[in-house]
Amino acid sequence: MAFYTPLVDQWTLLNPTKKIAAGVCGLVLLALALTLFILKPIWDKRVELQEDVLRGRERLSQIQKTLAQIKQFQQDLAQIDLQLKEVTAVLPESQEIPELLKSVSSSGQQNALEFLLFKPEPEIPREFITEVPVGVQLKGHYHQMAVFFDQIRRLPRLINVHNLEMGTYDEKSAQMTARCQLVTYKLLSPPAETPGQPLPSPPASGTQTAPPESKPK
């Protein structure tokens, strides 16, 4: 108590203005202490939580974008799968190609066309498919050739006509020749071919061998 007596005496001797100033300083110091030890940690925590909220919103936005991309990817994949099924439906299997070429030669014979050449050529691998070309030379009436090529176009399996060249028209026989390359396709990884099932032989008319005969119905 003896320690506080001088302080009390000095406080008593101060005029009211100094007492007010001292009280204000004490309040300021108290406020600073309160801010430093109590309010500042609360404020720092608030700032940290706000930053967490912002990071959470950014992450949520990224997740939503990713989900939208996944959905679009799934739609694109479904579209590609549908297109692949459509393409696969018109591409012959490896074991179907000999019968397909027999159908072509049979169609020519049914239209009274003479095969001067019917020669399977080396296969050509592409990115996703393999081309199966056949060199063909025909002789017959123009209308019969037009019907033949139209029938090829209508086959359930895809066959393209490449490098079509029409020969000179013979007025005496009313016939003409045509040379082209018939190209069908197969997938690069088709089912294994049935052993002992070769491609059809070339036709026997003229200097070349004859096309394969169609099976009796």
pLDDT in tens, 66-97: 999 998 988 988 888 887 777 777 777 777 78
pLDDT confidence of residue 181: 93
- Asked, for residue 101, whether it belongs to a domain, the answer is yes
Domain containing residue 103? 94-187
Same domain flag for 74 and 155: no
Residues of the chain with pLDDT under 70: 1-15, 18-19, 22, 34, 36, 39, 189-217
Three-state SS at 120:
strand
Q: Which helix (H) or strand (E) holds 47?
A: helix 40-90
Is-contact 107 144, C-beta < 8 A? no
pLDDT confidence of residue 200: 53
pLDDT confidence of residue 193: 52
Is-contact 101 157, C-beta < 8 A? no
Same domain flag for 1 and 84: yes
Same domain flag for 82 and 133: no
